Amino acid sequence: MHILHIAGARPNFPKLAPVHRAIRTAEWRQTIVHTGQHYDAALSDQFFDELGIPEPDVNLEVGSASHAVQTARIMERFEPVLSAEPPDWVLVYGDVNSTVAAALVASKLGVRVAHVEAGLRSYDRTMPEEINRIVTDRLADLLLTPSRDASVTLRAEGEPEEEIEFVGNVMIDTLLRTLPAARGSGFRASLGLSDDPIVVTLHRPSNVDDVGRLRAVASTLRSLAESRPVVFPVHPRTRQRLESAGISVGGVQLLDPIGYLAMLDLVQSAHAVVTDSGGLQEETTALGVPCFTLRPNTERPITVTEGTNTLVPEPQDLAGHLEALTDGRTGGRVPEGWDGRAAERIVEALEKRNGARR
Catalytic positions, written as ranges: 203
**Dihedral, CA of residue 119, residue 124, residue 130 and residue 135, to nearest 10:** 80
Of 174, 172, 122, 125, nearest to 146 (Cα)?
Answer: 172
| Cβ within 8 Å of residue 128, ≥6 positions away | 67, 97
Residue 6 phi, psi dihedral angles, 5° rounding: -110, 125
Cα–Cα distance for residue pair 103/112, rounded to 1 Å: 9
Of 301, 140, 284, 265, nearest to 191 (Cα)?
Answer: 265
Of 74, 84, 67, 195, nearest to 126 (Cα)?
Answer: 67
Sign of CA dihedral 263, 173, 301, 91: positive
Checking 20-28 for CB contacts under 8 A at 24+ apart, the result is 20/53, 20/54, 21/52, 21/343, 22/343, 22/344, 22/346, 22/347, 23/347, 23/350, 25/347, 26/347, 26/351, 28/1, 28/2, 28/3
Q: Which amino acid is at 273?
A: V
